[in-house]
Amino acid sequence: MSARSDAVCREAQTPAGSLHRARLLITTIARGSRRGCALTDLVARTGLPRATIHRVLDMLVGMGWVERDPLTQRFNLGRDLAALGYSAISRLPIERVAATELGALAETLGQVVFLNMRSGLDSVCIGRYDPRSEIQVGRGDVGLRTAFGITQSCIAIMSRLPEDEVREIVLINLSRYHRVERYDELKHREAIEHALREGWSCFDGMVLDRSTSGMGVPICDPAGYPVAGIGTTFISAWLDVAARAECRARMEAAAARIAARLFDLPVSG
C-alpha cells in the first residue's frame, strides 16, 4: 500500500470535525522528524486537503500547541502542548518511580537503558538512562515517538498483550516499519513470535545495525497487563549466552521492583 493510500485510509477512519483533524495533525507532527514537518509531509501523511490543514494549523499555532520555524517553515509541537504533556506525566508516576532503578541498572549493565510506553499505535520513550561508560550503543531520546512494535521495549510490551491484538497492530503498522532504515521484516516477525512465546524480547541484528542486539522486558500491573517496557541494546559480540541470561535476569528484577512500587506490591526475593 502506498503512503498516499495509507493516508486516505487513515482519513476515512478519522471522525469528521476540527477536533479530530487537529488530533490527526498533532499526532503526525509528533511522529515526524525532530526538525519538524513540512506542509507537503502533512498533506501526504494525513490525506487531508491542503486548505483544511492550513485552517487547523492556524488554530493550533494560535493556541500555542504547534509552532512554525520562521526559517525552515516546518511545523513542530509547541511549548504550551509540552507543558500540558508534563502535567499529564506528573500524574502518571512510572518514570519517576523507575528513574533510580533504571539508572542503577544502566550502570550495572554498562549499557543504555530505555523506558517506553504505548500510545495507541505509537510508542513514546519516556526515559533514557546512560551509564558512565564511554562506549554506548542505542539510539533514541526522551520524547521520541515511533511506530509501536519496532523497538525492544515495544516488543517486550507486546509479549504480554493478546496475540490477536499484536497481529492486528503489526498489520496496521507494517508500512511504517518498512520506512525504517534496513528494516528486516522476517527477523522482526521472528522476534515478535519469540516474545509471545517467552514473555520477553530478544532481537539479534537490530534494525539499524547488524552488529548489535537488544533485549526487553515488560513492566506489568497486578493482572499481568503491560504498562511499560524496559529495553537495552548492546554489541552482539560483547555478551555470550551466560551474560545475556544475567542481563535479562537483572532487567526482570528491576521491572518487578518498579511494578511493586507502582502498585504497592510485595517484592519477591
Q: Is residue 127 part of a domain?
A: yes
- Select the highest-mean-pLDDT range: 24-38, 148-162, 208-222: 148-162
Which structural domain, as residue segments, surrounds residue 255? 92-263
Statement: residue 1 has pLDDT above 60:
no
pLDDT of residue 201: 94
d(CA 69, CA 206): 34
Tell me: the pLDDT tens digits for 150-200?
Answer: 989 999 999 999 999 999 999 999 998 998 878 889 989 999 999 999 999
- Select the highest-mean-pLDDT range: 77-91, 204-218, 239-253: 239-253
User: pLDDT band at residue 251, thresholds of 50, 70 and 90?
Assistant: very high
Q: Which carries the bigger pLDDT value, residue 169 or residue 240?
A: 169
Sign of CA dihedral 86, 143, 132, 214: positive
Find the CATH number of the domain harbouring 168. 3.30.450.40
In a shared domain, residues 253 and 132: yes
Statement: residue 236 has pLDDT above 90:
no
Q: Which of 25, 57, 85 is the last residue of a domain?
A: 85
In a shared domain, residues 214 and 125: yes
Find the CATH number of the domain harbouring 43. 1.10.10.10
Q: Which of 20, 50, 85 is the last residue of a domain?
A: 85
User: pLDDT band at residue 92, thresholds of 50, 70 and 90?
Assistant: low
Tell me: the pLDDT tens digits for 31-46?
Answer: 777 788 888 889 888 8
Strands 226-235 and 212-220: antiparallel
pLDDT of residue 229: 96
The total number of structural domains that make up the chain: 2
In a shared domain, residues 130 and 179: yes
Q: Is residue 268 part of a domain?
A: no
Q: Which of 85, 110, 125 is the last residue of a domain?
A: 85
Q: Is residue 99 part of a domain?
A: yes
d(CA 57, CA 50): 10
d(CA 238, CA 97): 30
Q: Is residue 269 part of a domain?
A: no
Measured in whole angstroms, the distance separating CA 107 from the mean position of its chain's CA atoms is 23
Under DSSP, the state recorded for 15 is: P
Cβ-Cβ contacts under 8 Å for 75 (sequence gap 6 or more): 29, 36, 37, 38, 39, 42, 57, 66, 67, 68, 69
In a shared domain, residues 163 and 70: no
In a shared domain, residues 133 and 210: yes
d(CA 165, CA 163): 5
